[in-house]
A = this chain, B = another copy of it.
Amino acid sequence: MDFKFRYTGAVDRARNGFARQGMMETLKAQMEVLKPGFCEITARIRPEVSQQNGFAHAGLAFAIGDSAAGFAAQSLMTEGMDVLTTEMKIHLMAPAQGNSLVARGSVLKSGRTLTVAEAKVYAQSGDTEILVAVLLGTMMAVKDTGQ
């Protein structure tokens, strides 16, 4: 698919939105890439985000996968629009072990009200990437309330 930004401030809007999410700070997540219909977010695997076996908690893969899909969706929306996840499914396919997780979100179908987006989450160790989770869900465009 061949998407374009519909608003020149789309990257700034995403950066600002990301910075306002306390959860992303708590998870030490960073937005690495924002392109039309695509977003990449990373987070280190630390004890603070572990589950009972020392791997990253499903909540970490979900949080950055959902955010990557959401910012990918918002990147195609017009000025003044914010994005809400209405529903999201995640498959956890392998233990999330390694140095960090990287989530790559992309848009499958961009509509006026609803967007279908997916994200793939990989565990990185050195040069190796293993697919640990896949997300698929629905985003809704809503008027940005500024706060």
Contact = CB atoms under 8 A, between A and B. Distances in A.
Interface of A: 17-18, 20-23, 25-27, 46-54, 57-60, 62-63, 66-67, 82, 84-94, 108-109, 113-114, 116, 131, 134, 136, 138, 140, 145, 147
Contacts of A138: 86-87, 91, 138
Contact of A109 (B21, B60, B90, B93): B93
A48 B23 contact: yes
Q: What 3 A-B pairs have minimum CB-CB distances, sorted nearest first?
A: A59-B63, A23-B57, A22-B50
Contacts of A113: 113, 140
One complex includes copies of this chain to the number of 4
A10 to B, nearest CB: 15
